[in-house]
Structure 1
Amino acid sequence: MHANTAPKRGFSETEFRQRTIKAQSLMASEGLVGLLLMGEQDVQYFTGFQTLFWQSPTRPWFIFVPAEGKPIAVIPEIGAELMRRGWLEDIRTWGAPAPQDDGISLLTELLDPFAKKREKIGVMKGHETKLQMPLGDWERLMAGVSGLRTADCTEIVQGLRMVKSAAEIEKLAHVCGIGSAAFAQVPQIMSEGQPLEDVFRTFRIAALHAGADDAPYVVGAANQGGYADVISPPNQHPLQKGDVLMLDTGLTWDGYFCDFDRNWAIQQVSDEAKRAYDVLYRATEAGINAARPGNTCRDLFMAMSNVIAEMDNSGGDIGRLGHGLGMQLTEQPSHAAFDSTELKENMVLTIEPSLSYGDGLMMVHEENIVVRSEKAELLTTRAAPELPVIG
């Protein structure tokens, strides 16, 4: 599914209209008159508004999805021109930053009619959400619309975002293809003696040359026979004979992430590392095969855990063995014993088994897939069935 030609950037107005209509149908069943959203990906999902300006914490951004019609933007004036290029028509702005009134008056004016009728809106309150505005501003807003009731709309928004459209899957397949192309270059661009920090830098450059918009997430490790963690920034450790090198990357293209890793041995590989890789490869295969509509995330977790137990009986201490993927590096759901989320066709997931072995070592293997009606489809180019050796 890795096309040589990049998909068209952005989405059609029809895509956003369909997302909004689906949300409004779910809102109606919950008795909600609107959704007040302020997180980057939630705003982007309903509007297409995409900017690196989210890196600045200075200004809040708000979207109100009403029970009928298009969403309403309440945003700083600096973002008005970009927002107008999208499909929204009602864009209300203020000169920000304005610490004494950062959009609160505009929000109060918007929500007051609902407050007077004691109606109920949805806000994101659940896991993997956070209040993207000062708590003091939220308290002032609620005091100004004291009759308004709020309910948790996390399940509505996350549920919509879990199941991808064909256009979203096309973008995800494209960025996974870029990541696969960058990983394929590693044996040619990495070598013994190269400092790990240079390995990271070289990989980022390769990913950008392969077509990534950005490489915001590159982590990994290298050490004799394996590594001890999977989230480290680089150090100056030079690659040495007998090291196992792991690189894990989240590249982006048009606002969508890939998220997968690869492992290599430097010149030679221990029998223990070979075995760990083999177990994880087969655990990954079990997870891919279990990723069918009707199964749950727990089913995926158990399918992988049963294979991992051949070498590691810790029971998944790392917490989960994969997750959702989309506009965020990690999204809901989680492949874990606690997650009974039912898999649906067109969910995009990471399959990420890990195990511990030896003296404090670990290994992780990760692929990206899309759930289909019969058999899951790989978006990444499948890793080699045996641990590759560089040099």
Structure 2
Amino acid sequence: MSRESDYGFPPEEFEARVARAQKYMREHRFDGLLLSGMDNVRYFTGLDSSFWESYTRPWFVLVPADGIPTAIIPEIGRAIVESTWITKIISWPSPRPEDEGTSLLVQAISELPRRFGRVGAELGRELRIGMPVAQLNSLIGQLRGVEIADGADLIWQLRMVKSAAEVRKIQHSIDIAGEVYAAVPDFVRIGDSERKILRNFRSRLNEGGAATIPTLICRADVGGPFEITGGPRERPIADGDMLFIDTGTTFDGYFCDYDRNFRVGSITDELRFAQEKVWDANEVGLNSVRPGVTAGYIFQQMANSLSSGGQDLNNNGRMGHGLGLRLTEPPSVRLEDVTVLVPGMVLCVEPALEYQPGKIVLHEETVVVTEDGCRLLTPRAPRELPQIS
């Protein structure tokens, strides 16, 4: 189980994040960074709250190109923000639909020392702003001489590289899930429904110390699931199925994301071939991860491995992604992604194969890029499918 000391970060961690952000702001020609998405607010403040589930009250953090961040928040959140490392806090009595902090944002942004006349915001790839679009438009319309520009490249340049403390959080969430995966053959039986398996899996994750379990997928079909994104069914697993379980469990805000496959009773030669083919491609991908190569290079190596006898068996749009405060983050392990890997990046490497129409096998492992290669964070799945009887 987790100890209280396992949670949170020291102020020095956040100070280092702000310093890096300010360095990148000069490179990207920004006077500040306006953040309202829950993961970015948490990244800079350490704020842990389930209040994000309410869209009534937006929360903001303004990081200047020099100096300390300002939290611009609803009054109801002042006490919890005061418990973080943030010392500059401005609040308003919310809900106040006619002005949910917009006037305070206009004032704070207008008072930033103006060098470039641009403030970055969460407008680009794989980001979401935490306010209504109408409010953003109102903010833009009220600002004079300041452009709200896309800050996605800066944000991901910052967040793609994890600190050692962040990697420890990810490892902790992986370990929680790993203990439950290892126990699946002991608590799952032929005849159990997908819903029952999922409930038992979720219960064990909670007992193991999971903070939240935003993603948990349990699918089984003869020879493999026909899709791996939907919710569980009442369908009982049966002899000849392959059971697929995938979880995005969190610890202290940081996700794990990996799956495990199980044979239910007997196995066909075709499924055994696909299992070994995808496992081998995963091994190729893991061995390809090192500083200096691109995300696209890793994709190409796995795509080559999935091909057989001159036949291209790869039909994947991507075969992996980054991981952190979100279940999926840049880079994408896809052919066109030219992101160069550097130490500290955390990647999920996940080749997949539809080896027959409607039958999918996918393997996913997680690594952190090191100075001379990578380190496996997940316990490596066996090449032979574990059996459920």
TM (norm. structure 2) is: 0.96
> Which amino acid in 1 is paired with 2:131?
M
Which stretches in structure 1 are left out of the alignment for 5+ residues?
Answer: none
Q: Look up the SS of the partner of 1:246 in the other structure.
A: strand
Match runs of 1:64-75 below 5 Å:
64-75=62-73
- Counterpart of 1:34 in structure 2 is 32
> Deviation per CA, 1:358-384, whole angstroms, max 9, x where unpaired?
232111110111111223111111111
Counterpart for residue 230 of structure 2: 232
Confirm or deny: 8 A CA contact 1:59 1:97 kept in the other structure. Answer: yes
Q: Percent identity?
A: 39
Q: Which residue of 2 aligns with 1:126?
A: 124
Residues 1:13 and 1:150: Cα distance change in structure 2 (over 3 Å) = same
Aligned-partner Cα distance in 2 for 1:271–1:44: 48
Residue 51 of structure 1: aligned partner: 49
Cα distance change, pair 243–105 in 1 and its aligned pair in 2 (3 A): same
Distance, in Å, in 2 between the alignment partners of 1:225 and 1:29 is 52
Counterparts of 1:8 and 1:34, CA distance in 2 = 32
- Say whether the 8 Å CA contact 2:197–2:218 is kept in structure 1: no
- Mapped to 2, the partners of 1:115 and 1:215 lie a distance apart of 42
For these two proteins, the number of residue pairs brought into alignment is 388
Q: Counterpart of 2:148 in 1: which secondary structure?
A: strand
| Structure 2 residue identity aligned to 1:302 | Q
Deviation string, structure 1 residues 50-76 (Cα, Å, up to 9, x no partner):
111111111111110011121100011
Residues 222 and 91 of structure 1: CA distance in aligned 2, closer, same or farther (over 3 Å): same
| 8 Å CA contact 1:178, 1:207 repeated in 2 | yes
> 1:215 aligns to what?
213
Between the aligned partners of 1:17 and 1:267, the Cα distance in structure 2 is: 54
Higher alpha-carbon deviation: 223-232 or 183-192: 223-232
Q: Is the counterpart of residue 14 in structure 1 residue 12 in structure 2?
A: yes
What root-mean-square deviation, in Å, do the aligned CA atoms of Structure 1 and Structure 2 show? 1.8
Contact 1:118-1:149 at 8 Å conserved across structures: no
User: What's 2:342 paired with?
Assistant: 344
* Alignment partner, residue 271 of structure 1: 269
Instruction: Supply the AA of the counterpart residue of 2:189.
Output: S
Q: Distance in 2 between matches of 1:369 and 1:302?
A: 18
Q: Which residue of the other structure, out of 91, 108, 129, is the alignment partner of 1:110? A: 108
Residue deviations 1:95-149 (CA, integer Å, cap 9, x gap): 1121110001111111223598872211122111223211221122122113212
Aligned letter for 1:232? G
Is contact 1:115–1:149 with CA below 8 Å preserved after alignment? Answer: no
Is the CA contact 1:7–1:171 (under 8 Å) kept in the aligned structure 2?
Answer: no
Q: Is the aligned partner of 1:155 residue 2:153? A: yes
With 15-24 and 31-40 compared, the bigger mean Cα shift is at 31-40
Seen in structure 2, the aligned counterparts of structure 1 residues 197 and 338 have a Cα distance that, compared at 3 Å, is same
SS of the counterpart of 1:194?
A: coil
- Structure 1 residue runs of 4+, over 4 Å off? 3-7, 114-118
Q: What do residues 300-341 of structure 1 show as CA deviations (whole Å, max 9, x unaligned)?
A: 101111111128725433x21010001111111100011110
Distance 1:304 1:348, change over 3 A: same
Classify 1:11/1:116 alpha carbon distance in 2 versus 1 (closer, same or farther; 3 Å).
closer
CA contact (8 A) 2:291 2:373 kept: no
